[in-house]
Structure 1
Amino acid sequence: MDKLRTLEIFLATCDGGSFSAAARLCGSDPSTVSKAVSRLEVELGLTLFQRSTRQLRITTAGERYARTVRKAMQDLSSCENELKQLNDSPSGILRISSAVCYAHLYLQPLLNEFCQCYPDIKLELEVNDLHVDIVENNVDIALRTGFIKDSRLVARRLSPMDFLTCVSPIYLSAYGMPSCSEDFKTHSWIGFRIKQSQQLQPIFLPDKKGEYQFVDLERRYITDDGETMAYMCTDGLGFAQLPHFLAKKGLDCGELVSLYPYYRPPQPDNGVFAIYPKREYLPKKVRVFIDFLTEKLAERGESSHCTWAEEWPALVG
């Protein structure tokens, strides 16, 4: 029998004045209660109750021990209730770690509204492209493109990551429209270097059947910052294959056009994910943040299985 249960039986015996009364209070039987109290006395090396055939009387040591146990049980109950209340109400510090581009382009414009909706939540926002150990670093939720498989974590996909082959009208007016993938070899490309692996993001272009294939193209310009890549493309330095969240601003204002329909990598870790520690009871502050972000993404035409890029018109169908 565990110690906490034994202490509950001990206090019930104090309150009931007999093993039979304690048994009724604890939903047990007198024999089990008597044995539990006897084991506790052996463990402590103390006599907690004086027994006779007619009555059970608590000793001085028993009274002192009962006061301490009762206070400890009350403190434990108070702590549990407080923690439950914190878990069930959207309050406290919410620590978010987000990929840089996603934070700047998608998350930052939503922060004021979220804080207005949940004034009892205090945000701590860390913006970087490193896959930090969110358990070790006490992060409540991380927003990442892709995820690292970890049994301690839950990875919930917010949206796929769709790529659009973008170019500025400025560039097209100066250098013309390529007619096939071979033509791209004579055009300027902007490449993205992945920080973690130092590899260049591969480029996929549609073949004559419209099926995307890997194409080995020379990059005239290379950067490891997504927003810089998008700005370079907008400024007319060349073509770039941009994730949908990087392409959206330029496409919406007409500074960029999409040459082909979207491309979605088939890998299971493709997408934008909300990653958080696995736990039985997810704190309310985390739940409301995920729900809020999911709702705002839906207003943009994004969900776990689609993005607005599916409907975006391409210059070449």
Structure 2
Amino acid sequence: MDKLRSLEIFLATCDGGSFAAAARACSTDPSTVSKAIGRLEDKLGLTLFQRSTRQLRVTEAGQRYAQAVRKTLMDLSSCEDDLKHLNDSPSGTLRISSAVCYGHLYIRPLLHEFSQCYPAIRLELEISDLHADIIERDIDIAIRTGYLKDSRLVARRLSPMDFLICASPQYLQRKGIPRCAEDFVGHHWIGFRIKETQQLQPIFLPNARGEYIHSELDRSHITDDGEAMAYMCSDGLGLAQLPHFLAKSGLESGELVSLFHHFRPPQQQNGVFAIYPKRTYLPAKVRVFIEFLSAALSTKGEDPYHTWAETWVPLVHFSKNEKPDKQEID
């Protein structure tokens, strides 16, 4: 029998004045109550009850112990109620870790509205591209790109991750418009170095049928910061294959042009994910944040299976049966 059950039986015996009364209160039998009290006395090395054939009387030690046990159980019950309320209501500290670019461009702009909707939640935002152990770091939710491999975690996909080959209009006026992989010879290319692995992000270019293939290209310029990569592209330093969330602002403002239809990596390796530890009862603060973020992404034309990049009109159009066609740049 566990200690908590023994203490509950002890208090029931104190309150009922007999093993029979305690047995009825605890839905058990008098023999079990007697054995539980005996084990508790043996463990404490104290006599909690004076027993006779006619009555059961609590000793002075038993009275003092009962006071302490009653207070302990009341405190425990109060703590459990508080924790249940905390888990069931959107409150407390929400620790968010986000990939750098996605955090700056998508997460940070939403926090003011989220905080107004849920004023009882205190936000802690960590911006980092390093895939730290979120359980060890006590992170409630992490926003990451790529494929989840940790079986201790749950990954809810927020959207695919689509890539677009972008350039500034000024760059294309100077260097011309590449229409397929062979046309990229002589063009400048801005590469992205992944901080965690120090490897360059691979580049996929379309062939004459618009099918994307891995291409080995020399990078004229390299950066390990996604926003810097997008700015370098809009400044005219060269072409860049940007994830949709990095390309969005530049494309909408006209500072960037998308050359071809979007490229989406294989499904199992692709996506933006909300990641959190496996648990039976998901805290309300985590649940409402995921729901809020999903709703905000929906207004951008993004969901677990689609992004706005699917409908963006590129500069160069491909058809399986026709040669590439291109639009003119103003």
2:262 matched residue in structure 1? 262
Q: Is the 8 A contact 1:18 1:55 kept in 2?
A: yes
Q: 1:34 is matched by which residue type in structure 2?
A: S
Which contiguous aligned blocks of 4+ residues in structure 1 show a shift greater than 4 angstroms?
none
Q: Distance in 1 between matches of 2:180 and 2:300?
A: 32
Q: Is the 8 A contact 1:185 1:218 kept in 2?
A: no
Q: Distance in 2 between matches of 1:16 and 1:123?
A: 49
1:278 matched residue in structure 2? 278
Q: How does 1:60-79 map to 2 (within 5 A)?
A: 60-79=60-79
Q: Distance in 2 between matches of 1:71 and 1:95?
A: 33
5+ unaligned residues in a row in structure 1: which ranges?
A: none
Q: Is the 8 A contact 2:94 2:123 kept in 1?
A: yes
2:327 matched residue in structure 1? none
1:3 matched residue in structure 2? 3
Shift in Å at residue 201 of structure 1?
A: 0.6
RMSD: 1.5
Q: Is the 8 A contact 2:16 2:22 kept in 1?
A: yes
Q: Distance in 2 between matches of 1:16 and 1:263?
A: 74
1:80 matched residue in structure 2? 80
Q: Distance in 1 between matches of 2:147 and 2:57?
A: 63
Count of matched residue positions in the alignment of Structure 1 and Structure 2: 317
1:199 matched residue in structure 2? 199
Q: Which moved more, 1:148-157 or 1:188-197?
A: 148-157
Q: How does 1:42-191 map to 2 (within 5 A)?
A: 42-146=42-146, 149-191=149-191
Q: 2:239 is matched by which residue type in structure 1?
A: F
Q: Is the 8 A contact 1:94 1:285 kept in 2?
A: yes
Q: Distance in 2 between matches of 1:108 and 1:44?
A: 56
1:314 matched residue in structure 2? 314
Deviation string 1:174-230 (CA, Å, 9 cap, x unpaired) is: 221123211102211111111111111111112233321101111111111111111
Normalising by structure 2, what TM-score?
0.92
Q: Is the 8 A contact 2:89 2:284 kept in 1?
A: yes
Give % identity. 71
1:287 matched residue in structure 2? 287
1:28 matched residue in structure 2? 28
Q: Is the 8 A contact 1:97 1:125 kept in 2?
A: yes
Q: Distance in 2 between matches of 1:84 and 1:213?
A: 52
Q: Distance in 2 between matches of 1:267 and 1:308?
A: 17
Q: Is the 8 A contact 2:180 2:205 kept in 1?
A: no
Q: Distance in 2 between matches of 1:220 and 1:185?
A: 12
Shift in Å at residue 310 of structure 1?
A: 1.3
Shift in Å at residue 267 of structure 1?
A: 5.3
5+ unaligned residues in a row in structure 2: which ranges?
A: 318-330
Q: Distance in 2 between matches of 1:122 and 1:298?
A: 25
2:324 matched residue in structure 1? none
Q: Distance in 2 between matches of 1:84 and 1:269?
A: 37
- SS at 1:143's partner residue? strand
